[in-house]
């Protein structure tokens, strides 16, 4: 709280970018974790909550006749435009938000103070919910060709890999250690996914320290062991996800890519996905298009094309499709890398897994996939998401691109995923929120040093508790679609309004199909419960069934002798048969209650409180 000089400012206006209506007027509060705006002009109490960690930039705009504007851009693409009456108040809020949104120490992150009043046992159980060993067992590992080894338990092989990794059984410790010295940052080839049907493996690593002519016998033996672990294939692919020009530039720095002459029976292939700096610039251009007030169709489409964003999404998707086809159709093992193997490699390996395995399209499976390919394998969430005050050139929307690729798949295969768009948005929010410990730090070793598993809570139980509202009502089950084969022609990709203009309410349809379907399913469950309850009461009735007891007087003398049915038959059945709104549809008028405890932690994220 030491960064907050003015915790409350009244008569603050909140402008709406798209709706042509009068600006809201209300009170702005600053707490230890959130900026909270309470709209005093609304008939029903309306609050906007912005988590400090979600703020990516705060900008003071030139003075207007209405006051001093403050423009806030968030990492979840929320844009809030406030106008504050007094210059001093505006400056105080501005300087406070700069400090609150850019903590210097990891201990200042929200996760270390977030307290959902959960027992220690439940918190520990939450961290044990995802067990990667079980996923490898599901793939049939360990087996004759692959083993789970703790050779990295002291991080001697690689400081950014987890303690346990999966390597070919034929690879000796000498081969593993030798390969680690020849791979950038020691990130040796390890198993990502084993396709049980044909023993083809998807493996990942970093670039070799090959330069123009260097070679390493142990690294060559490691790749040979991976190839021989798939006896049915005479060769294996080595895929470099970088543009060839970038990889060649790395050669001059003593790094680079594999020489096919040095490795037995490999086929080398470049897939040109641009680097983190190009992606950061592309997203910035996309957001500028999203923030255009009244663009013409030509301006919007030209801006979207010039941003290159969907072109990059297509490149990532194409790479995932290539990997999946190589494993499934060609029955060939594949080794994938980029530069350090924690950005583009994570994107394409996790996408290939989604395409190949329906388990990863379930709630639990998707969580396993993210833990396995992103968290455990050392994607630098802290740097890429800008959790701490650091080098802005390290920030890049790598995970955002992966989430969008999943959404693009959901548009082509709407019945194949157990979760819905809202789940992806919630997940994306919490990658940046720092409310839970899963995405803090850059690797497993750093999370152990920060004592994440002792001091913070896991996101996964929190999301599973909300499974009902985050599920896809069109999901046809685990076995309906085995492999996915998406179309990656340019016309197959859509602009994701639900992500990039999510908070601009005026841009969204008046009726949400997802909400309607979930509501119908909820109403169906309620009706079934009521019917079941009535059926359970039937054995306790004396005499005829309720349908006979409630029959018309024209039924004859028998009806007169029938016992009066219990109240449940007459009045209790009415709500079930009513054509009116179900309980889930009744609008509850929010009482103009006093402001809630502003210092209290928010247990259910931020998105629910957006206007």
- The reply to whether omega before 287 is within 30° of 0 (cis) is no
Contacts of 533 (CB under 8 A, 6+ apart): none
Contacts of 516 (CB under 8 A, 6+ apart): none
Say if residues 177 and 222 touch (Cβ distance below 8 Å): no
In the prediction, which pLDDT does 544 show?
Answer: 58
Q: What distances in angstroms separate CA 274 from CA 124, 138, 314, 337, one per listed residue?
A: 39, 34, 12, 13
Q: What average pLDDT score do residues 218-245 get?
A: 96
Look at residues 406, 393, 397, 352 and name the one whose alpha carbon lies nearest to residue 379.
397
Look at residues 116, 24, 131, 206 and name the one whose alpha carbon lies nearest to residue 435.
116
85 token code pair: 């009456």
374 token code pair: 């992103």
Condensed to tens digits (0 to 9), the pLDDT of residues 423-434 reads 999 999 999 999
Condensed to tens digits (0 to 9), the pLDDT of residues 399-412 reads 999 999 999 999 99
Q: What distances in angstroms separate CA 469 from CA 406, 410, 421, 509, 601, one per listed residue?
A: 19, 17, 11, 19, 22
Q: Collapse the DSSP code of 152 into the 3-class scheme (helix H, G, I; strand E, B; otherwise coil) and give the result.
A: coil
Handedness of CA 336, 340, 344, 345 (dihedral sign): positive
Condensed to tens digits (0 to 9), the pLDDT of residues 167-177 reads 999 999 999 99
Condensed to tens digits (0 to 9), the pLDDT of residues 92-126 reads 999 999 999 999 999 999 999 999 989 999 999 99
Condensed to tens digits (0 to 9), the pLDDT of residues 377-395 reads 999 999 999 999 999 999 9
Phi/psi of residue 561, nearest 5 degrees: -85, -10
User: What percent of the chain stands above pLDDT 90?
Assistant: 75
In the prediction, which pLDDT does 579 show?
Answer: 33
Maximum separation of any 2 CA atoms in the chain, in Å: 104
Burial of 43 (0-12, 13-18, 19+ CB in 10 A): exposed
- In angstroms, rounded to a whole number, what is the distance separating the alpha carbons of residues 505 and 21? 13
Confidence of residue 591 (pLDDT cuts 50, 70, 90): very low
pLDDT at 564 over 70: no
- In angstroms, rounded to a whole number, what is the distance separating the alpha carbons of residues 591 and 573? 31
Burial of 104 (0-12, 13-18, 19+ CB in 10 A): exposed
Phi/psi of residue 37, nearest 5 degrees: -115, 125
Q: Burial code of 270-302, b = ≥16 C-beta within 10 A, e = fewer?
A: bbebbebeebbebbeebbebbeeeeeeeeeeee
403: left (phi over 0), alpha (psi -120 to 50) or beta: alpha
Condensed to tens digits (0 to 9), the pLDDT of residues 266-316 reads 999 999 999 999 999 999 999 999 998 888 999 999 999 999 999 999 999
Adjacent-strand bridge partners of 595? none
In the block, residue with structure tokens 């988590």: 51
Active site residues: 338
* pTM (2 d.p.): 0.85
Highest mean pLDDT pick, 61-65, 308-312, 504-508: 308-312
- The reply to whether omega before 142 is within 30° of 0 (cis) is yes
371 token code pair: 């833990």
pLDDT at 327 over 90: yes
Q: Collapse the DSSP code of 17 into the 3-class scheme (helix H, G, I; strand E, B; otherwise coil) and give the result.
A: coil
- In angstroms, rounded to a whole number, what is the distance separating the alpha carbons of residues 127 and 130? 7
Q: Collapse the DSSP code of 44 into the 3-class scheme (helix H, G, I; strand E, B; otherwise coil) and give the result.
A: coil
The 190-195 sheet, strands edge to edge: 190-195, 200-204, 334-337, 236-240, 266-270
Contacts of 492 (CB under 8 A, 6+ apart): 408, 412, 486
Say if residues 135 and 368 touch (Cβ distance below 8 Å): yes
**2 CA to centre of own chain:** 32
Q: Collapse the DSSP code of 114 into the 3-class scheme (helix H, G, I; strand E, B; otherwise coil) and give the result.
A: coil
Q: What average pLDDT score do residues 339-357 get?
A: 97
pLDDT at 597 over 80: no
The better pLDDT of the pair 517, 215 is held by 215
Strands 79-84 and 236-240: unpaired
Report the residue count for the chain: 611
In the prediction, which pLDDT does 277 show?
Answer: 97
Q: What distances in angstroms separate CA 263 from CA 81, 269, 336, 555, 605, one per listed residue?
A: 58, 14, 15, 90, 50
DSSP codes, 81-97: EEEES-HHHHHHHHHHH
């Amino acid at each position: 709280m030491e960064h907050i000089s003015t915790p409350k400012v009244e008569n603050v206006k909140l402008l709406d970018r798209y709706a042509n209506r009068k600006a809201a007027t209300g009170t702005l509060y600053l707490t230890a974790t959130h900026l909270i705006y309470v709209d005093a002009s609304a008939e029903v109490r309306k609050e906007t909550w912005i988590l400090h960690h979600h703020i990516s930039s705060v900008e003071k705009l030139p003075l207007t006749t209405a006051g001093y504007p403050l423009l806030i851009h968030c990492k979840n693409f929320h844009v809030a435009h406030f106008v504050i009456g007094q210059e001093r108040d505006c400056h105080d809020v501005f300087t406070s938000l700069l400090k609150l949104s850019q903590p210097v120490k990891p201990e200042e992150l929200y996760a270390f103070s977030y307290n959902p009043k959960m027992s220690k046992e439940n918190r520990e159980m939450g961290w044990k919910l995802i067990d990667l060993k079980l996923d490898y067992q599901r793939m049939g590992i360990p087996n004759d060709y692959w083993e789970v080894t703790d050779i990295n338990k002291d991080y001697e092989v690689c400081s950014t890999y987890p303690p346990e990794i999966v390597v070919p059984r034929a690879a000796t410790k000498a081969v593993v250690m030798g390969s680690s010295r020849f791979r950038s940052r020691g990130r040796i080839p390890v198993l990502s996914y084993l396709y049980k049907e044909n023993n083809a493996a998807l493996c990942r690593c970093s670039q070799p320290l090959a330069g123009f002519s260097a070679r390493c016998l142990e690294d060559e033996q490691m790749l040979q062991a991976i190839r021989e672990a798939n006896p049915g294939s005479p060769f294996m692919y080595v895929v470099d996800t970088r543009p060839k020009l970038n990889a060649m530039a790395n050669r001059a720095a003593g790094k680079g890519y594999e020489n096919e002459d040095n490795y037995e029976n490999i086929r080398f292939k470049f897939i040109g996905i641009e680097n983190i700096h190009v992606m950061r610039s592309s997203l910035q251009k996309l957001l500028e298009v999203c923030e255009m007030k009244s663009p013409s169709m030509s301006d919007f489409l030209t801006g979207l094309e010039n941003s290159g964003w969907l072109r990059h999404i297509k490149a990532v998707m194409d790479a995932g499709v290539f990997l999946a086809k190589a494993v499934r159709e060609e029955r060939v093992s594949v080794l994938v890398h980029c530069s350090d193997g924690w950005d583009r490699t994570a994107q394409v390996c996790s996408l290939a897994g989604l395409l190949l395995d329906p388990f990863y399209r379930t709630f639990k499976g998707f969580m396993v996939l993210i833990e396995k390919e992103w968290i455990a394998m050392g994607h630098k969430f802290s740097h890429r998401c800008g959790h701490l005050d650091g080098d802005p050139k390290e920030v890049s929307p790598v995970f955002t691109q992966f989430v969008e690729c999943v959404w693009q798949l959901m548009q082509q295969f709407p019945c194949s995923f157990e979760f819905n768009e809202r789940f992806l948005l919630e997940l994306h929010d919490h990658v940046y929120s720092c409310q839970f410990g899963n995405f803090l730090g850059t690797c497993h070793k750093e999370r152990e040093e920060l004592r994440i598993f002792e001091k913070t809570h896991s996101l996964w139980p929190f999301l599973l508790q909300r499974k009902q509202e985050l599920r896809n009502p069109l999901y046809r089950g685990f076995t309906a679609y085995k492999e996915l084969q998406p179309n990656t022609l340019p016309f197959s990709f859509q602009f994701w309004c639900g992500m990039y203009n999510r908070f601009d309410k005026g841009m969204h349809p008046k009726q949400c199909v997802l909400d309607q379907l979930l509501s119908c399913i909820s109403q169906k469950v309620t009706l079934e419960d009521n019917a079941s309850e009535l059926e359970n009461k039937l054995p306790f009735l004396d005499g005829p069934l309720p349908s006979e007891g409630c029959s018309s007087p024209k039924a004859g003398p028998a009806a007169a002798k029938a016992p009066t049915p219990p109240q449940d038959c007459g009045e209790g059945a009415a709500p079930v048969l009513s054509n009116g709104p179900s309980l889930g549809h009744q609008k509850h008028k929010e009482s103009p209650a006093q402001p809630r405890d502003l210092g209290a932690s928010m247990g259910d994220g931020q998105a629910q409180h957006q206007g």
